[in-house]
């Protein structure tokens, strides 16, 4: 009951102003490609306002009011479905919509949304996407966009737990051209970074495409991926830091900020062996190296200044308009 009053006053005080309204109610995001955790937000009110004030944010969520957690869903995260709940579940949601009706639906199951579809528009860099939230009799609200997330031509798309992710492999058979730093710089020209290997699926994609890129080179080659050993893990005294030892994945920093798991990093036997501080993937044609013991696509820590034949970049997908 208290929650009800709180929501009503919140709506009245803060978010019922042109051009946007936040429709505040109870629910739970149930289909989305990603989200952002907003740290140090101490009240649900501030969480809602955080989203309200960001041109690219369309939805705020907290799984409870105490302790509060604040999650923002941005246009690039494509939220598709929000399950309806009641105050008993204490799951708070706020939808940003264009306020052309002059009222603020609020409270339990508020988004009957006045019985009509509500529209929103959020910015994504140079473009905007519009979306529509329709009042549905079912257990959830659906959000439809005039845009979809897509990877550019030649980039593979992968589903990570918190986002979609695009990966492209660069390199060639003819020359050893790239230090780890040069590979990273090249990825930046693609608005990307060296990709991490979040899953076996991502590892296998990089391994397969890299093999095609070096077809006429009949030996094995290294391709850079995300991973550089943390300074404290090679400075004196590293042996005393538990995460710096053995094959502990925490010994590496990643430029791939969307990496959620290290399960695509399958190390060669006895690796990482500290023979270098950067991570590469071994590309070994199983047909050309039938006697080679180690699998194609395994990881190894290698000298960062080694000139490798290639690397794999990763980045978020982009909105493309329908
Ligand atoms: C999530 O929503 C998208 C877009 O409507 C749909 O294509 C996809 O099948 C949905 N996924 C699940 C698990 O319901
Ligand atoms: C995107 O929407 C904002 C707010 O409605 C508007 O000011 C801006 O001009 C729009 N940008 C584009 C590219 O349509
Ligand atoms: C998508 O919607 C936005 C916002 O209404 C609009 O600016 C944009 O032109 C639309 N794009 C297409 C391709 O319809
Ligand atoms: C990188 O982003 C910039 C700015 O948005 C854009 O102009 C450029 O075309 C992008 N480059 C690639 C390779 O996508
Ligand atoms: C790597 O991680 C350490 C903390 O473990 C941090 O101090 C350092 O700045 C990071 N380096 C890079 C290049 O991100």
Helix (H) or strand (E) holding 30: strand 20-32
Among protein residues, the one whose CA lies closest to atom 4 of ligand 1: 80
Q: How many Å separate Cα 196 from the centre of its chain? A: 12
Work out which ligand 4 atom sits closest to the CA atom of 191: 1
Residue list, ligand 4 pocket, CB within 6 Å: 190-191
pLDDT (0 to 100) of residue 89: 82
pLDDT (0 to 100) of residue 10: 40
Pocket test for ligand 4, best of 76, 191, 314 (most atoms within 8 A of CB): 191
CA angle centred on 230, ends 185 and 312, rounded to 5°: 35
Task: Give the integer Cα–Cα distance in Å for 77 and 57.
Answer: 9
Distance 241 CA to ligand 4 centre (A): 41
Among protein residues, the one whose CA lies closest to atom 9 of ligand 1: 31
Which DSSP symbol is given to 309? S
pLDDT (0 to 100) of residue 313: 98
Residue 86, ligand 1, Cβ within 6 A: no
pLDDT (0 to 100) of residue 252: 98
Strands 310-315, 221-229: pairing kind: parallel
Quick one: residue 115, left, alpha or beta (phi over 0 = left, psi -120 to 50 = alpha)? left
pLDDT (0 to 100) of residue 2: 32
pLDDT (0 to 100) of residue 64: 84
Domain regions of the chain by residue span:
3-145, 150-318
In this prediction the pTM is 0.68
What's the CATH fold of domain 150-318? Mannose-Binding Protein A; Chain A (3.10.100)
Residues of the chain with pLDDT under 50: 1-14, 108-109
Collapsing DSSP to helix, strand or coil, 300 comes out as strand
pLDDT (0 to 100) of residue 251: 97
pLDDT (0 to 100) of residue 103: 55
- Work out the number of other CB atoms within 10 angstroms of the CB of residue 17: 12
């Amino acid at each position: 009951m208290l929650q009800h009053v709180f929501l009503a006053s919140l709506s009245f005080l803060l978010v019922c102003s042109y051009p946007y309204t936040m429709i505040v109610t109870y629910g739970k995001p149930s289909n989305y490609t990603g989200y952002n955790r907003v740290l140090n937000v101490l009240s649900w009110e501030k969480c809602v306002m955080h989203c309200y004030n960001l041109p690219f944010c369309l939805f705020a969520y907290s799984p409870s009011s105490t302790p509060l957690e604040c999650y923002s869903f941005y246009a690039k995260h494509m939220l598709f479905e929000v399950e309806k709940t009641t105050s008993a579940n204490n799951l708070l949601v706020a939808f940003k919509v264009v306020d052309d009706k002059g009222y603020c639906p609020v409270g339990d199951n508020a988004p009957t949304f006045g019985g009509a579809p509500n529209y929103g528009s959020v910015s994504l860099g140079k473009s905007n996407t519009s979306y529509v939230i329709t009042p549905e009799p079912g257990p959830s609200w659906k959000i439809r966009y005039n845009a979809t997330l897509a990877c550019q031509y030649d980039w593979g798309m992968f589903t990570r737990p918190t986002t979609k992710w695009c990966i492209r492999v660069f390199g060639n058979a003819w020359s050893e051209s790239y230090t780890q730093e040069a590979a990273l710089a090249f990825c930046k020209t693609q608005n990307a970074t060296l990709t991490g290997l979040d899953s076996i699926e991502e590892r296998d994609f990089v391994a397969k495409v890299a093999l095609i890129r070096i077809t006429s080179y009949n030996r094995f080659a290294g391709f850079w991926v995300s991973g550089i050993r943390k300074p404290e893990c090679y400075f004196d005294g590293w042996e005393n830091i538990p995460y710096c030892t053995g094959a502990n994945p925490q010994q590496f920093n990643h430029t791939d900020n969307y990496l959620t798991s290290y399960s695509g990093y399958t190390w060669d036997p006895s690796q990482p062996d500290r023979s270098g501080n950067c991570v590469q993937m071994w590309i070994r044609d199983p047909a050309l190296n039938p006697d080679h013991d180690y699998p194609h696509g395994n990881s190894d820590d290698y000298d960062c200044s080694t000139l490798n034949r290639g690397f794999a970049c990763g980045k978020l997908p982009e909105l493309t308009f329908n």
